[in-house]
Amino acid sequence: MKKLFFLFLLITSIGFSQEIALLKYNGGGDWYANPTSLPNLIKYANQNINTNIKAKPATVEPGSPDIFGYPFVHMTGHGNVVFSDAEIVNLRNYLLSGGFLHADDNYGMDQYIRREIKRIFPNNDLVEIPASHTIFQKPNVFATGLPKIHEHDNKRPQAFGIFIENRLVLLYTYECDLGDGWEDPEVHNNPKEVREKALKMGSNILNYIFNN
């Protein structure tokens, strides 16, 4: 029933403005970090890849039935993430019925989000997404995969995913910090070319969601 409801929302929104959301989670992590990132990504995508997304993202909680109304949910933060058992079930149902979750480590989230992802999909492993995957190819080509935006621990950037029947339903970006690259220029003083890379990669993610 939830799957049919989600598909209905997608079908009835064709030709109309879509809405994406930021995940408000428990555990103490700063889910509200990077407040300008999603609005900037939305503006960029609407101008460059012909999306029609509402300018202001919604805020949704992992246990809310409202989450089924958003084709894309983004989460970020620097610390702990804790989902209740009911939230785990709701998130799993959301992802299995056509939803998409992007978890972007803002530095310090890694051990916690990996634990919670394993609770959502105990029988599926996070796998590194190869550079040949369509999410790195359309509409912008990232020949080596996920771009590096912030140094953090000076490790290479990695994109991990959960695939269900060959569909990427959950994307976890690590040692990259796309959200910082989407923020207003004066927040992190990233060079223009670095912000452009981050926004192009973000556009690829949205393109994948709306066209696959």
Per-residue pLDDT of the chain (212 residues; tens, 9 = 90+): 444 444 444 444 444 569 999 999 999 989 999 999 999 999 999 999 999 999 999 999 999 999 999 999 999 999 999 999 999 999 999 999 999 999 999 988 999 999 999 999 999 999 999 999 999 999 999 999 999 997 767 789 999 999 999 999 999 999 999 999 999 988 767 899 999 999 999 999 999 999 98
CATH of the domain at 192: 3.40.50.12140
List the Cα angle 22/101/151 in 5-degree steps.
80
Is the pTM here over 0.85, yes or no? Answer: yes
pLDDT of residue 154: 78
Q: Using an 8 Å Cβ cutoff, are 31 and 59 in contact?
A: no
Nearest to 143, CA basis, from 201, 195, 196: 201
Phi, psi of 90 (to 5 degrees): -65, -45
Q: Evaluate whether 42 touches 20 at the Cβ level (below 8 Å).
A: yes
**pLDDT at residue 1, as a whole number:** 41
Structure tokens at 185: 């220029």
What's the number of domains the chain is made of? 1
Q: Which residue, among 60, 123, 128, 126, has the nearest Cα to 94 in the 3D structure?
A: 60
User: What pLDDT score was predicted for residue 152?
Assistant: 67
- Domain enclosing residue 98, as ranges: 2-211
What token pair was written down for 91?
A: 């998130």
The whole-number pLDDT of residue 150 equals 76
> Over the chain, what HEC string results?
CHHHHHHHHHHHCCCCCECCEEECCECCCCCCCCCCHHHHHHHHHHHHCCCCECCCCEEECCCCHHHHHCCCEEEEECCCCECCHHHHHHHHHHHHCCCCEEEEECCCCHHHHHHHHHHHCCCCCCEECCCCCHHHCCCCCCCCCCCCCCCCCCCCCEEEEEEECCEEEEEEEECCCHHHHHCCHHHHCCCHHHHHHHHHHHHHHHHHHHHC
pLDDT of residue 4: 43
